[in-house]
Each structure stands twice: as C-alpha cells, then as structure tokens.
Amino acid sequence: METSETAAALEVTYDGRHYHFRQYRYDRLEDALRYATAQRDVPGFRADSAFVPRWLPAWLPSEAERARMHELGIGFAGGRFSVGDYHYDKLDDAVAFASTRQGKA
C-alpha cells in the first residue's frame, strides 16, 4: 500500500509541511501513523465520518524566497528554516530574526 493510502486509512493527512491526525500536528510521518494506530486500538474509537484524505506535495520556497534566504544566510531543511542554531516554521520569522541579526531590520 502506498504511503498516502496507508495514511488515509488511518485518517492522517499531509499539508505539504506537516502531518495531521485530527487536531494534532506532526513533523514526522512515523509519529502521526504511530499515534493514529494507537488511537484506533482504544476501545470506543470512532472513525471520523467527515474525514477527507489530503496529501499535498512537499512545500518548497520559491526562487525569490530562496534568493532572500541566501542573502540572509537562512537554511531550509525538513520543512523548517534555520538561522544559526535557531529554527523557524515560518520564513517570515526567520527573515525577521536574520535581518535583525545582520542589522538590516
């Protein structure tokens, strides 16, 4: 079974950056699948009748965003931005910190 099919069977979705099971968000697919599987084993578990499978392509910064990131020394890996030892979920936050750090605020 394909990853997205396995995830959908467990009501796990992917928004291009994070995996979701109900109200929870995960950085790693394995964690989302493990929790969803554990929840199914709980007596009284009910499948979400409103669940809609969704598996979007991985999000990547645009060419313009990558140029700005390069200018400010912002890294991107695993769906997260980094400036030195600091990590950010949002590019705007990384840009704000990097700009301040370089005196370009």
From the CA atom positions of the chain, what is the Rg in Å?
A: 18
Q: How confident is the model at residue 59, as a pLDDT?
A: 86
CA 88 to chain centre: 11
Q: How confident is the model at residue 44, as a pLDDT?
A: 95
For residue 28, the 8-state DSSP code is S
Per-residue pLDDT of the chain (105 residues), as tens digits, is: 578 899 999 999 999 888 999 999 998 999 999 999 999 999 999 999 999 999 998 889 999 999 999 999 999 998 889 999 999 989 999 999 999 887 654
Q: How confident is the model at residue 1, as a pLDDT?
A: 59
81, two tokens: 């931005």
Q: How confident is the model at residue 52, as a pLDDT?
A: 92
Number of helices (H), then strands (E), belonging to the chain: the values are: 4, 6
Element (H, E) at 21: strand 19-21
CA 22 to chain centre: 15
Q: Round to whole Å and give the CA distance between 43 and 19.
A: 24
- Its pTM stands at 0.70
